[in-house]
């Protein structure tokens, strides 16, 4: 047991890229729970507790056999549901202990491996919030990953928060001058958050000037069903769209893995051009975000603080708090409108 909000065990989190998981087991840690992830010969995914119940050797040091994941020490072998299916050397008819190792639900969607720790529910894409499945299969997709020494909740807030952009990304995302009135609608329902921004079809930073055109809508999304994931969606008057999705995967309270995807729909964006021009700027933005969120984490520990003080500008925090820090968000339904200056 650990200090994480219990409801997070019902949520889907990314733990790896699909290409990183083969028949050789991989050790990952999600919400302080160590797991061994692997595929059998048919490609089916296993997600088992990374600790053999015999003498506690990591199962991630083992190998995949026809029967299942085999421990490297004495060969106890486990099926995908965690049942021990073989103990080499035991005479037939000998009493085999009814052991099993803990298992989690695991699936792959959009090139990423997702895990649900409580082992409940169906493991298919429908279990994820609609916004994650929304980008068309024809969209051009870019992917990258990083490790941030920060809390997942603070990283999520940073990604969804527009107010820091003037200060942390001056000139790149927004220039520090000339704020415009923007109408923000915050819609919450059963663990889900949607923030719509109206009134800024043109944005002041270089990213907009170089790579975007007049926006029709701008939306931020979050949903407790995939509590580490958040998305910024931009739709343009010329019919194109851009989905920027970050998946924050908490290893522990101090360390969060980050998997990012960028989907580009109906827009001229050859891979080489995005890699050569947009990428360096986006990487810089992510580096700036990482630095400020890591400084926040370090100083929160140094000064021994709990949660900070918010104003009505901190529109995403209540929904994140409800999922990550409090229990029971289920009954919250509200639509809240506010004018801010961005």
- Least CB distance to ligand FES at residue 38 (A): 15
Examine residue 50 and tell whether it contacts Fe ion (CB under 5 A): no
Phi first, then psi, for residue 309 (nearest 5°) are -90, 135
Examine residue 96 and tell whether it contacts ligand FES (CB under 6 A): no
Q: Closer to Fe ion by CB, 28 or 155: give it.
A: 155
Closest by CA to 231, choosing from 245, 247, 219, 217, is 245
Examine residue 76 and tell whether it contacts ligand FES (CB under 6 A): yes
User: 105 and 218 in contact (C-beta within 8 Å)?
Assistant: no
C-alpha 263/C-alpha 136 separation (Å) is 8
Residue 289 near which of Fe ion, ligand FES, none (CB within 5-8 Å, type-dependent): Fe ion
Q: Closer to ligand FES by CB, 86 or 255: give it.
A: 86
Examine residue 64 and tell whether it contacts ligand FES (CB under 6 A): no
- Least CB distance to Fe ion at residue 159 (A): 7
Interacting residues with Fe ion between 261 and 290 (CB under 5 A):
289
Examine residue 108 and tell whether it contacts Fe ion (CB under 5 A): no
Examine residue 99 and tell whether it contacts ligand FES (CB under 6 A): no
**What are the helix (H) ranges across the chain?**
130-133, 152-160, 165-168, 206-211, 271-273, 279-302, 317-324
Kindly tell me which residue out of 69, 71, 192, 342 binds ligand FES, with binding defined by CB under 6 A.
71
Closest by CA to 256, choosing from 224, 221, 296, is 296
C-alpha 81/C-alpha 55 separation (Å) is 20
Q: Closer to ligand FES by CB, 62 or 228: give it.
A: 62
Exposure of 123 in the CB half-sphere (CA atoms within 13 A) = 21
State the residues that interact with ligand FES by CB under 6 A: 52, 54-55, 57, 71, 73-76
């Amino acid at each position: 047991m650990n200090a994480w909000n219990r409801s997070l065990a019902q949520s889907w989190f990314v733990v790896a890229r699909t290409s990183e998981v083969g028949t050789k087991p991989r050790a990952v840690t999600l919400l302080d729970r160590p797991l061994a992830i692997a595929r059998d010969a048919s490609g089916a995914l296993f997600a088992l507790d990374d600790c053999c119940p015999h003498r506690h050797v990591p199962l991630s040091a083992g190998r995949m056999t026809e029967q299942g994941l085999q421990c490297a020490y004495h060969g106890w072998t486990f099926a995908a549901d965690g049942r021990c299916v073989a103990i080499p050397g035991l005479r037939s008819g000998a009493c085999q202990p009814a052991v099993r190792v803990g298992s989690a639900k695991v699936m792959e969607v959009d090139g990423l491996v997702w895990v649900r720790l409580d082992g409940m529910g169906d493991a298919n894409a429908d279990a994820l919030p609609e916004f994650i499945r929304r980008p068309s299969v024809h969209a051009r997709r870019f992917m990258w990953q990083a490790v941030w020494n920060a809390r997942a909740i603070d990283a999520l807030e940073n990604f969804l928060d527009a107010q820091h952009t003037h200060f942390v990304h001056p000139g790149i995302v927004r220039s520090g001058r000339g704020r415009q009135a923007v109408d923000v609608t915050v819609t919450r329902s059963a663990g889900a958050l949607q923030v719509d921004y109206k009134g800024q079809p043109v944005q002041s930073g270089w990213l907009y000037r170089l790579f975007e055109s007049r926006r029709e809508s701008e939306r931020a999304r979050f949903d407790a069903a995939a509590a580490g994931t958040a998305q910024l969606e931009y739709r343009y008057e010329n019919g194109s769209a851009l989905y920027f999705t970050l998946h924050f995967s908490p290893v522990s309270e101090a360390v969060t893995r980050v998997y990012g995807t960028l989907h580009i729909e109906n827009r001229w964006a050859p891979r080489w051009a995005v890699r050569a021009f947009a990428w360096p700027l986006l990487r810089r933005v992510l580096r700036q975000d990482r630095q400020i969120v890591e400084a926040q984490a370090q100083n929160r520990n140094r000064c021994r603080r709990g949660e900070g003080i918010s104003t009505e500008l901190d529109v995403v925090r209540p929904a994140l708090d409800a999922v990550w820090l409090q229990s029971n968000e289920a009954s919250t339904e509200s639509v809240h409108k506010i004018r801010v200056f961005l």
